[in-house]
Chain A
Amino acid sequence: MSEMSDDDEDVIHIIKKDKVIQYGSLEEKERQRLANTGSSGSLANDAIEAGKASGNINITSESNQFEIDDDAGQAEALAEFNKRKRARQIQVSTDDFEVKARLRENGEPICLFGEGPAERRERLRQILAQIGADAIKKRAEEKAAEAKKKEEENVTWYHEGSESLKEARLWLANYSLPRAKERVTKQKLEKNIPATQQNAKLQELHKKIRSVTNDCSQIGDNRPLSFCQFSPNSKLLAVSSWSGLCKIWSIPECEMVRELRGSHNCNVGAIVFHPQATLSLDDNACCMASCGQDGTVKLWNLVSEEPIADIEGHSPYRVSRLAYHPSGRFLGTCCFDNSWRLWDLEAQDEVLHQEGHSKPVYDISFQCDGALAATCGLDAYSRVWDLRSGRCVMFLEGHLKSVLAIDFSPDGYHVATGSEDNMSKIWDLRQRKCVYTIPAHTNLVSYVKFQPQHGNYLVTASYDSTAKIWAHPTWTPLRTLAGHEGKIMGLDISPDLKHMATCSFDRTFKIWISETSETL
């Protein structure tokens, strides 16, 4: 027994040893070597054995080789399967034109002899499978590089305008500077008025505003009314409609004076009066201007039902709004080709074609001095331009969505914007910042208008079918004008401050007055 156990232990011992040894068992090799030397039949045999053992003579077994071959074949077949699978997963358009375009993109012939659309598509699929993912990656990289290049190219640059532009600008400078001087001196004087007196005045005004009610309502057309404006003498109201017609209504009777028959064949965006029309300007002269969706701009007098002139150069782009320069000599138009234009009506010439917005320009407003113009666009930014130097003097950034309305305050340095994000912002040009944000409505703000001449309040119109009146320095809501059944598209305050008009999508326009006082 004891011997047996000893043997066992021995065996175990050997196994343990094996664990320690790193490669192969030396013992066996040694034994082999010994056996070889012992048997040593012929020297050559011995040498052969030794050669075999040391790996200099290799006798490969055939089966092994076959296996390797088979493995290679298998790998090949599997690769082929994978390739087919990849090709299957690639989506290729069924549109033959697109297939051809893709082929051309990859530098392949777009058509082989006797090849139909199906075969072509299959060929494209094979090619795409071959090129694989790196082609897509490469394209993305190229795109990024292109975008970067574009970004680098995007810098401010200037080009020289025509001689007429220089002339017009000089004229504008000579016109605006005395007005600015006058305005500033007036403001300085106003500043000297004691605060209590000013406050009392404001209180009175607010009281008046709080009593604003609907005076009359009139159906303006059988299509939505897009815009309305009082004549400078406050006796007329021009209303434009989506039917393509513009109508002139008498105020306060609200009776139709004239229908401008030879109007546009499409939605009319706006109709505006010349600043001196019905005042010092002859009725036969060019008193009104209207613009349409097809890019037509027409000029009207106060006598005829037909336009006296057309301004061409916008079509096929829509002209959304237009405005007269305070001097009446120039007309600014907003065009959907991302530009706004300045037309010299005396010279009957386009003096300025101004780019700068990255999306259509929607509204334009001129400063009371005639020195600046403010434009807003669907790119959610507004810009203030100096008409004399042609430079963008201020960039109004703050809205999130399209800015649809912009208006200069009569004080000459406040600008109000109304946007699709339901907010209205007040900008101060002197401080160069947004001084207040009015969360004005629960739908987009379609129009903003300061009180004419004084600028003591701001009226905003919205697609939530209300218009709201906000006090100027505090921006508190004074009054909500509710009554329309549809979105309010346009609004105006008469220059004599007696009336306020709103026109709406519900095809009516309404006149609002203050109950307690003559003026607003």
Chain B
Amino acid sequence: MSLSRRESDDFRYLLEKSVKKFIGFSEPTLVTAAFDCIDRGYDRRKTVDKLTAILDNNQATKFTDIVHELYEDFRIGSRGRSKKRKDDRDDENDNKRRRKFKMLLYVLYLQDDEAPVNVPAPGNPSPGQLTTDKIKEMMANAQKLIQERKTQIQATIPTKSLATIQPDNTTKVFMNDVASKAKRAADLQAQIQTRLSGMQGLGPVTPAAQSIPLDSKPTLILNDQGQTIDAVTGQPVQLSLHTPTLKANIQAKRREQFKGLIDKPPEEISESKFFDSRVSGKGAFRPKRSFKFNEKGRFEQLANRLRTKAQLEKLQNEIAQAAKKTGIASAAKLATIAPKKDMKEGEVPDIEWWDSFIVNCEHYDNLDLKDDQVLTGVTNLVEHPIQMKPPAEPTNEIAIPVYLTTKEREKLRRQNRTESQKEITEKIRLGLMPPPEPKVRMANLMRVLGQEAVQDPTKIEAHVRAQMAKREKAHEEANAARKLTAEQRREKKIKKIKEDTSLGVHVAVYRVRDLKNPAIKFKVEANANQLFMTGIVVLYRDCNVVVIEGGPKQQRKFKRLMLNRIKWQDDKKRSKDQDGSDGEDDADKLNKCFLVWEGTVKTRSFSDIKFKACPTETFAREQFKKLGVEHYWDLAYSGAVLEST
């Protein structure tokens, strides 16, 4: 069969018309089937066979005749008429998808032909949706046809049916009639169903393209005010509007109406109409910017204020710390019994305070144990005191990090990398990511670029070199981005040295015989500072005490400094050489450093490392006593005293 596309469309149009004439309404399946038969060049007999799937035998032969006649006519007259219907076919340029959609709706509609006529399609009633409008119209047309057909059928029914409505007739007749009506309706439905199924069995025809009734072109359009107007006359037409029934929709509509009222600008002054509201002009000239001079010392003042504020805060912190140390808070927490009056050191009470709660008298001399009523405090109660959390126990559990073996680490890395690579490939395959350009090197350039490389080698080489440079640059940049900044690196180092001492500080007390050498003093101070340790160095004649606080690791390093790294004896020898006095009178007098004590305490007592030269023992002890750690001095000093005796 040799029908061009345009011709086939034209012919289909004709066919549709004839089908409409033949059965009284447009039936796309029939049209499609007939068209298909013609299109494949079937003869009459074969066409009849095909069409019997949809129509009765009798009707099929008749319709075949009509179709073939039509085709003969069409072939003769096809040349001259193509231009005539150009306008009508404009819509046919719509793509297949949309047609399919319409078709689907149409089919659905056919199945459901008992539905009320004026039901608009649910969903978006937007006037802009040309497609839906069209669909609606088509539906309306089809519905109309069906209605007509129904009325015809009704008309053909004998007058008996009319008589049934007469009240004098028996209910039985009425029932019969109703039943027959129902039966007929069912028949009609069944017929359509069978036709539909027949259509499905028709073969690889795509019925979508053929199903549109071409005369269902819209005749209504909208003007600039959104009113519906007649396409020909341009007169506004009143359409029955679909009123929203949903409460939300009604409210929305009402809001819209009121909005119009409220938003309507008040009557303008006569001048205002000369302004175009769409134009928002800027001022004609910009304001002059003048210099702003600050008074001398303003920023200094500001800085000073900040400084004092910081100092105050520090002070407050210290006070809070001191308050904590006295243990007021923890003592208040415990519901223990307390003595009625405070005792002084060395004072002997008339009665021990714990006994006074038992016997309820103020002196042991007044005690008469023979009296049963004396022991008021004795009970058979068993106390369950508040259980206190150990101070060195961390509040939240420490998660032990899991370390993997080298093999495991490598395996994990490999798996992760393959996984991410797979993801990238998949993304490229799905078009979510542009594929990477082929990776070319000087070595593989011929293989990758082939023909192009032959055509313009210079250009290609330049291209390859550029790509290589780009790759390298990207690599370097990635490396640089991973690198820590100088600030971060420094912080990392500090963090590594500093240890968490919130749960206990390690303290060490050293005693040195002679700490006059400035080089050694510097070493001690510098190391303490570099290790971020706190403490005090008290310089007092033969008993120089170094108290240092920090974490265990810091302490280890400092201990190594004090006991191993500093050569105390050498220093002494040198000073003696300078003196020129008694050479090696006794080994005891050699300079030496002793570790007096090391242990842990709850909180730091010092805020930084300080050197104190003390003329007297009491002054030295005072330095420690201020901070409540005089026992460090006592121990070190007594050691020195014991040694000297």
A and B physically associate: yes
Q: Are B379 and A389 closer than 8 Å at their CB atoms?
A: yes
Is B130 an interface position by the 8 A CB rule? Answer: yes
Q: Which interface class (under 10, 10 to 19, 20 to 34, 35 or more) fits A?
A: 35 or more
Q: Which residues of B contact A441 (CB under 8 A)?
A: 597, 599
What sequence of 0s and 1s flags, for each residue 361-404 of chain B, a beta carbon within 8 Å of any chain A beta carbon? Answer: 00011010100000101111111111111111000000000000
Contact A442 B598, CB 8 Å, known A180-B364, A371-B355: yes
- CB contact between B327 and one of A20, A21, A60, A397 (< 8 Å): that residue: A397
When distances are taken between beta carbons in the complex, the residues of chain A under 8 Å from B234 are: 42-44, 46-47
Which of B115-123, B441-449, B613-621, B633-641 binds A?
B633-641
Q: What CA separation (Å) do A60 and B94 show in the bound complex? A: 12
Q: Are B128 and A22 in contact (CB under 8 A)?
A: no
List residues of chain A with CB within 8 A of the CB of B392: 380, 400-401
Residue in A78, A156, A413, A438 whose beta carbon sits within 8 Å of that of B432 in the complex: A78
CA distance A366 to B229 in the complex (A): 110
| Cβ distance A20 to chain B, nearest Cβ, rounded Å | 6
Known: A77-B430, A439-B599. A391 touches B383 (CB 8 A): yes
CA distance A423 to B342 in the complex (A): 27
Which of A235-243, A316-324, A353-361, A450-458 lines the interface with chain B?
Answer: A353-361
- Is there contact, CB below 8 Å, between B128 and A379? no
Identify which of residues 337-372 in chain B touch chain A, using a CB-to-CB cut-off of 8 Å. 337-339, 342-355, 357-359, 364-365, 367, 369
**In the bound complex, do residue A359 and residue B390 qualify as a contact, i.e. CB atoms below 8 Å apart?**
yes
Contacts of A74 in B (CB 8 A): 431-432
Decide: A429 and B378 in contact? CB cutoff 8 A. Answer: no
Assuming the A-B contacts A423-B599, A477-B638, are A383 and B385 also in contact, with contact meaning beta carbons closer than 8 angstroms in the complex? yes
Surface stretch bound by B, among A102-110, A181-189, A273-281, A297-305: A181-189
Q: Is B358 touching A47 in the complex (CB atoms < 8 A)? A: no
Residue-by-residue, is A32-70 near B (CB-CB < 8 Å gives 1, otherwise 0)?
A: 000000000011101110110110111110100000000
Q: Does A220 contact B (CB under 8 A)?
A: no
A residues near B336, Cβ cutoff 8 Å? 391-395
Is A177 in contact with B369, judged by CB distance below 8 angstroms?
A: yes
Closest A residue to B355 using CB positions = A180
Q: Shortest CB–CB separation between residue B7 and chain A, in angstroms?
A: 26
> Is A421's CB under 8 angstroms from B601's CB?
yes
Q: A354 to nearest B CB, angstroms?
A: 7
Of chain A, the residue at the smallest CB distance from B338 is A432
- Does A57 contact B384, Cβ atoms closer than 8 Å? no
Collect the chain A residues with CB atoms within 8 Å of residue B389's CB.
358, 379
Q: Mark A149-161, 1 if CB is under 8 A from B, else 0.
A: 0000011111111
**Per-position 1/0 for A457-483, Cβ under 8 A of B:** 000000000000000000111000000
Contact segment of B59-67, B135-143, B173-181, B220-228: B220-228
CB nearest neighbor in B for A377: B390
Does A86 count as interface, using CB distance less than 8 angstroms? no
Closest to A401 in B: B392
B276, B337, B352, B600: the one contacting A421 at CB < 8 Å is B600
Contact B354 A191 (CB under 8 A): no
B432 adjacent to A439 (CB under 8 Å): no
User: Among the listed B95, B226, B335, which residue makes an inter-chain contact with A56, where contact means beta carbons less than 8 Å apart?
Assistant: B226
List residues of chain A with CB within 8 A of the CB of B597.
422, 439-442
B347: A residues at CB distance < 8 A: 430
The answer to whether B375 and A20 have CB atoms under 8 Å apart is no
A200 CB, nearest partner CB in chain B, Å = 18
Do A54 and B278 touch across chains, with their CB atoms under 8 A apart?
no
B residues within 8 A CB of A352?
Answer: 382
- Which listed residue, A23, A393, A400, touches B601 by the CB 8 Å rule? A400
Asked whether B465 is an interface residue with its Cβ less than 8 Å from the other chain, the reply is no
**Which one of B354, B359, B383, B598 has the greatest number of beta carbons of chain A within 10 Å?**
B354
Contact B504 A400 (CB under 8 A): yes
Partner of A57, one of B222, B349, B386, B387: B222
Given contacts A372-B354, A383-B385, contact A181 B599 (CB under 8 A): no
**With an 8 A cutoff between CB atoms, is A162 at the interface?**
yes
Complex CA distance for A161 and B432, rounded to whole angstroms: 77
Say yes or no for A437: interface residue by CB 8 A criterion: yes
Docked CA distance A444–B642 (Å): 24
Of B33-41, B279-287, B451-459, B513-521, the one contacting chain A is: B279-287
Do A57 and B382 have beta carbons less than 8 Å apart?
A: no
Q: Which of A163, A395, A477 contacts B635 (CB 8 A)?
A: A477
- Say how far B501's CB is from chain A's closest CB, in angstroms: 11
| B221 touching A51, Cβ below 8 Å | yes
A-side binding surface: helix, strand, loop or mixed? mixed
Residue A157 contacts which of B339, B384, B509, B602 (CB distance < 8 angstroms)? Answer: B384
Supposing A390-B383, A423-B599 touch, asked if A51 and B279 sit within 8 A by C-beta, the answer is no
- Quick check: B229 and A47 within 8 Å, CB to CB? yes
B130 contacts across to A, CB distance below 8 A: 57, 59
> Contact partner of B387 among A20, A62, A162, A356, CB < 8 A?
A356
Which of A3-11, A167-175, A256-264, A286-294 interfaces with chain B? A167-175
Of A22, A156, A401, A429, the contact of B354 (CB 8 Å cutoff): A429
Q: Determine which of A158, A388, A413 lies in contact with B382 in the assembled complex, contact meaning CB atoms within 8 Å.
A: A158
Query: What's the Cα separation between A169 and B382 when bound, in Å?
Result: 11
Q: Does B159 contact A (CB under 8 A)?
A: no
State in angstroms the CA–CA spacing of A58 and B367 once bound together. Answer: 109
**Contact of B631 with A by CB under 8 A:** yes
Among residues of B, the one whose C-beta sits closest to the C-beta of A176 is B355
Give the residues in chain A near B225, CB-CB below 8 Å: 54, 56
Could you tell me if A181 and B364 are in contact, using CB atoms closer than 8 angstroms? yes
Question: A371 contacts which chain B residues (CB < 8 A)?
Answer: 352, 354-355, 358
Contacts of A477 in B (CB 8 A): 635, 638-639, 642
- Least distance between B376 CB and chain A CB atoms (Å): 10
Whether the Cβ atoms of B282 and A20 lie closer than 8 Å is yes
Choose from B335, B355, B384, B598 the contact partner of A356 (Cβ within 8 Å): B384
Expressed in whole angstroms, the Cα–Cα distance for A155 and B386 within the complex equals 5
Q: What is the CA–CA distance of A401 and B330 in the complex, to the nearest angstrom?
A: 17
Which residues of A lie under 8 Å from residue B365 when comparing CB positions? 181
The answer to whether A58 touches B128, judged by C-beta atoms less than 8 angstroms apart, is yes
For residue B278, which residue of chain A has the nearest CB? A26
Cβ-neighbour of B364 out of A59, A184, A421 (below 8 A) = A184
A178 to B338, CA, bound (A): 22
B182 at the interface (CB under 8 A from A): no
Q: Shortest distance in angstroms between B605's beta carbon and chain A's nearest beta carbon?
A: 11
**Residues on A with beta carbons closer than 8 Å to the beta carbon of B359:** 173, 177
The distance in angstroms between the C-alpha atoms of A470 and B645, with both chains bound, is 18
Contact flags B119-162 to A (C-beta < 8 A → 1, else 0): 00000000111100000000000000000000000000000000
- The verdict on A44 contacting B229 (CB below 8 Å), with A57-B221, A169-B380, A476-B634 known, is yes
From B127, B282, B382, B596, A159 is in contact (CB under 8 Å) with: B382
Residue A148 interfacial (CB < 8 Å): no
What 0/1 readout, one digit per residue, does chain A (75-93) give for beta carbons within 8 Å of chain B?
0011001001100100000
For A353, the chain B residues whose CB sits under 8 A away are 382
B231 interface residue (CB < 8 Å to A): yes
- A430–B346 Cα gap in the complex (Å)? 10
Task: Name 5 extra pairs, CB < 8 A, besides A44-B231, A84-B423.
Answer: A56-B226, A74-B432, A184-B351, A392-B385, A435-B345
Q: What are the 8 closest A-B residue pairs judged by CB atoms, nearest first? A: A422-B599, A50-B224, A58-B128, A43-B234, A47-B223, A181-B364, A166-B380, A439-B597
A-B contact pairs, 19 of them (CB 8 A): A20-B279, A26-B276, A47-B223, A50-B223, A56-B226, A74-B431, A159-B382, A163-B380, A174-B369, A177-B364, A177-B369, A187-B348, A356-B383, A379-B390, A388-B378, A392-B336, A397-B388, A423-B599, A432-B339
Which residues of B line the A interface, CB within 8 A? 95, 127-130, 221-226, 229-234, 276, 278-282, 327, 330, 334-339, 342-355, 357-359, 364-365, 367, 369, 375, 377-392, 419, 423, 426-427, 430-432, 504, 509, 595-602, 631-632, 634-635, 638-639, 642
